[in-house]
Amino acid sequence: MSDLTVSARARARRSLRPLAAIAAAAAICVAFYLALGPFWNWALYDLAGLPRGVRWSEAVHFFFFDTTKILLLLVGIIFVVRILRSFLSIERTRSILGGKREGVGNVLASGLGVVTPFCSCSAVPAFIGFVAVGVPLGVTLSFLIASPLINEVAVILLYGMFGFEIAALYIGAGLVLAIVAGFVLGKLKLERYIEPMILEAAAVAPLEAAGGMEPSWSERFDLGVEEVKTIIGKVWPYLLVGIALGAAIHGWVPQSFFTRVAGPGNPLAVPIAVVIGLPFYSNAAGTLPLIEALHAKGMAMGTSLALMMSIVALSLPEMILLRRVLKPKLLAIYVGIVASGIVAMGFMFNAVLSN
Amino acid sequence: MHSIKVLGSGCANCERLATLADKVLSDLGREERVEKVTDYAVMAKMGVMATPALAVDDQVVLAGRIPSPDALKELLAAKVTA
């Protein structure tokens, strides 16, 4: 009897341990984060003896402060997000979306697109898997639009470079875009333009993929560590260049060219930016330093973000992948609707933000 | 002999998983080698929605991530020596 309660208590303690570890790590991260400003003030101005209030030394301070701030944010948030994501899987997301109607389904799919662990190289098998179990086409497309558009790296970098307001607006705009574009595509009744190969596979596709793959807590931590290593390893050169560029632009580059051709005064700037970004693919980390530089040189915020969305969400490689499951007409309508949505978002940003 | 398949579109992660699985198999002293599957219809039939995926005797045992070498060794040892 007492043995039982002891072991039950031990089990409860063990299941709380990972949460305590996360809380402790989070506290350390926050402490570091708060100490960064004072630390670089002390290290650069007091220890290294840089003059205060001078343009170049402020740029050096900006570079060190911003680099460490963004890296710390990335490490902390990627780690936590990956652990949270390990509770979700594409299979679980599919079973949540399975019986949902359009509308509610589009909203859910967009939200799940943000949080489900998903690589765009899995777009085709995921599409087949969704459609095969009867997830509506428009709901499936909402998922596929939201997934690359909104992720923790994009949001952290936007926050680090442009502040909270822009990051929040971007998340909101991305979600609305995925929901509305998916909903409209669903209403157009385009199911006959799905490649028939899909429907043949659907007949034999098992409802649930291999179960029993639920990771343990130590595996979740490993996943988090692995994700941090992978993403930071990929992202750091872009980041350093981007922040160095930002630091340089901070004081020296005058607003000129882009204010004239892509400033708030030119109504064609947004659609042109979207068309230019369309064929290219890069992730948020590779794109944002460029976006920050363009914005600093006078490109309007909405135009800059529309260019980024167009690069991240639509690309030639992605279209080639999707062509395997979508007939050309459906593919063209998909690209047209998403691109129009991004243009609308660009105009909205430009209207809301008075640079 | 068991059939060991890595399913995926041929992206970098699929190559990494295939290489890792081959190495683990030879570490385990097994003769099997990984067969790469890039046909989406086959993936659909096996219920794979996240790549890279690993299947032993056409049973998906892992999907959407690359495990650590130790975890993969444990997983494959349990499947191929059973």
Neighbours of A214 (CB within 10 A): 10
Residue B74, classed as helix, strand or coil, is helix
Name every chain B residue with its beta carbon within 8 A of the beta carbon of A91: 49, 63
What pLDDT, on the 0 to 100 scale, is given for residue A186? 92
Hey, are the CB atoms on A210 and B59 less than 8 Å from each other? yes
What pLDDT, on the 0 to 100 scale, is given for residue A204? 54
∠ CA B51-B53-B54, nearest 5°, is 165
Are both A305 and A250 inside the same structural domain? yes
A269–chain B nearest CA distance, Å: 35
Are both A203 and A310 inside the same structural domain? yes
What pLDDT, on the 0 to 100 scale, is given for residue A52? 82
What pLDDT, on the 0 to 100 scale, is given for residue A333? 95
What pLDDT, on the 0 to 100 scale, is given for residue A106? 94
In this structure, which amino acid lies at residue A145?
I
Name every chain A residue with its beta carbon within 8 A of the beta carbon of B64: 89-90, 117-119, 122
Q: Report the C-alpha gap between A117 and A123 in whole angstroms.
A: 12
What pLDDT, on the 0 to 100 scale, is given for residue A1? 44
Tell me, what's the ipTM? 0.83
Nearest Cα residue in chain B from A212: B61
> If pLDDT is split at 50, 70 and 90, which confidence band does A172 have?
very high
Tell me, yes or no, whether A218 lies in a domain: no
Hey, are the CB atoms on A222 and B61 less than 8 Å from each other? no
Domains of chain B: which residue ranges? Answer: 4-80
Q: Report the C-alpha gap between A156 and A303 in whole angstroms.
A: 20
> If pLDDT is split at 50, 70 and 90, which confidence band does A208 have?
very low
Lowest mean pLDDT among A12-16, A20-24, A261-265: A12-16
A318–chain B nearest CA distance, Å: 12
Q: pLDDT averaged over chain A?
A: 82
| Model confidence at A212: pLDDT above 60 | no
| Model confidence at A63: pLDDT above 80 | yes
Instruction: Between A110 and A51, name the one with better pLDDT.
Output: A110
Are both A38 and A178 inside the same structural domain? no
Are both A190 and A286 inside the same structural domain? yes
Biggest distance spanned by C-alpha atoms of chain A = 80
Hey, are the CB atoms on B63 and A197 less than 8 Å from each other? no
CATH topology of domain B4-80: Glutaredoxin (3.40.30)
Domain range for A128 is 90-209+239-352
| Token digits of residue A17 | 């341990």
Tell me, yes or no, whether A215 lies in a domain: no
Residue B81, classed as helix, strand or coil, is coil
Hey, are the CB atoms on B50 and A122 less than 8 Å from each other? yes
**Would you tell me the crossing angle of helices A284-296 and A152-162 to the nearest 10 degrees?**
20
> If pLDDT is split at 50, 70 and 90, which confidence band does A9 have?
low
Q: Give the number of domains in chain A.
A: 2
| Model confidence at A295: pLDDT above 60 | yes
Domain end, chosen from A58, A86, A114, is at A86
Hey, are the CB atoms on A223 and B65 less than 8 Å from each other? yes
Task: Read off the pLDDT of residues B29-48 as tens digits, 9 standing for 90 and up.
Answer: 888 889 999 888 888 888 88
A209–chain B nearest CA distance, Å: 5
pTM greater than 0.90 (yes/no): no
Hey, are the CB atoms on B9 and A124 less than 8 Å from each other? yes
Mean pLDDT of A177-198: 89
Hey, are the CB atoms on B13 and A206 less than 8 Å from each other? no
Instruction: Between A289 and A323, name the one with better pLDDT.
Output: A323
What pLDDT, on the 0 to 100 scale, is given for residue A258? 65
Instruction: Between A211 and A131, name the one with better pLDDT.
Output: A131
Name every chain B residue with its beta carbon within 8 A of the beta carbon of A209: 46-49, 60, 63
Nearest Cα residue in chain B from A131: B44
Residue listed under structure tokens 């949080």: A115
> If pLDDT is split at 50, 70 and 90, which confidence band does A173 have?
very high
Are both A124 and A244 inside the same structural domain? yes
| Model confidence at B21: pLDDT above 60 | yes
Interchain contact B60–A (C-beta under 8 A): yes
What pLDDT, on the 0 to 100 scale, is given for residue A252? 61
Tell me, yes or no, whether A295 lies in a domain: yes
Hey, are the CB atoms on B51 and A324 less than 8 Å from each other? no
Name every chain A residue with its beta carbon within 8 A of the beta carbon of B47: 129, 205-210
Across the A:B interface, residue pairs with CB atoms under 8 Å apart total 88
Interchain contact B45–A (C-beta under 8 A): yes
Pick the residue of B7, B38, B39, B40 with the most A CBs within 10 A to test the interface with A by mutation: B40
Are both A78 and A106 inside the same structural domain? no
Lowest mean pLDDT among A22-26, A191-195, B18-22: A22-26
Interchain contact B78–A (C-beta under 8 A): no
Q: Report the C-alpha gap between A96 and A86 in whole angstroms.
A: 16
Three-state SS letters, chain A:
CHHHHHHHHHHHHHHHHHHHHHHHHHHHHHHHHHHHHHHHHHHHHHHCCCCCCCHHHHHHHHHHHHHHHHHHHHHHHHHHHHHHHCCCCHHHHHHHHCCCCCCHHHHHHHHHHHHCCCCHHHHHHHHHHHHHCCCCHHHHHHHHHHHHHCCHHHHHHHHHHHCHHHHHHHHHHHHHHHHHHHHHHHHCCCHHHECHHHHHHHHHCCCCCCCCCCCCHHHHHHHHHHHHHHHHHHHHHHHHHHHHHHHHHHHCCCCCHHHHHHCCCCCCHHHHHHHHHCCCCCCHHHHHHHHHHHHHCCCCHHHHHHHHHHHHHCCHHHHHHHCCCECHHHHHHHHHHHHHHHHHHHHHHHHHCCC
Are both A48 and A105 inside the same structural domain? no
Mean pLDDT of B53-78: 85
| Model confidence at A32: pLDDT above 60 | yes
What pLDDT, on the 0 to 100 scale, is given for residue A57? 83
Tell me, yes or no, whether A70 lies in a domain: yes
Hey, are the CB atoms on B41 and A125 less than 8 Å from each other? no
What pLDDT, on the 0 to 100 scale, is given for residue A12? 57
| Model confidence at B56: pLDDT above 60 | yes
Name every chain A residue with its beta carbon within 8 A of the beta carbon of B74: none
What pLDDT, on the 0 to 100 scale, is given for residue A305? 92
Are both A197 and A299 inside the same structural domain? yes
Q: How far is CA B80 from CA A198, A232, B4, B59, in A?
A: 32, 35, 9, 12
With beta carbons less than 8 A apart as the criterion, state whether B76 and B24 touch. Answer: yes
Are both A188 and A330 inside the same structural domain? yes
Are both A97 and A122 inside the same structural domain? yes
With beta carbons less than 8 A apart as the criterion, state whether A72 and A136 touch. Answer: no
What pLDDT, on the 0 to 100 scale, is given for residue B75? 86
A125–chain B nearest CA distance, Å: 5
Interchain contact B47–A (C-beta under 8 A): yes
Instruction: Between A45 and A283, name the one with better pLDDT.
Output: A45
Name every chain A residue with its beta carbon within 8 A of the beta carbon of B44: 125, 128-129, 132, 198, 201-202, 205
| Model confidence at A156: pLDDT above 60 | yes
Are both A35 and A183 inside the same structural domain? no
Name every chain B residue with its beta carbon within 8 A of the beta carbon of A207: 47
Closest Cβ–Cβ partner in A121, A128, A213 for B44: A128
- Provide the CA A131 distance to its chain's centre, in angstroms: 24
Tell me, yes or no, whether A219 lies in a domain: no
Question: B57: which DSSP letter?
Answer: T
Are both A44 and A116 inside the same structural domain? no
Mean pLDDT of A213-231: 80
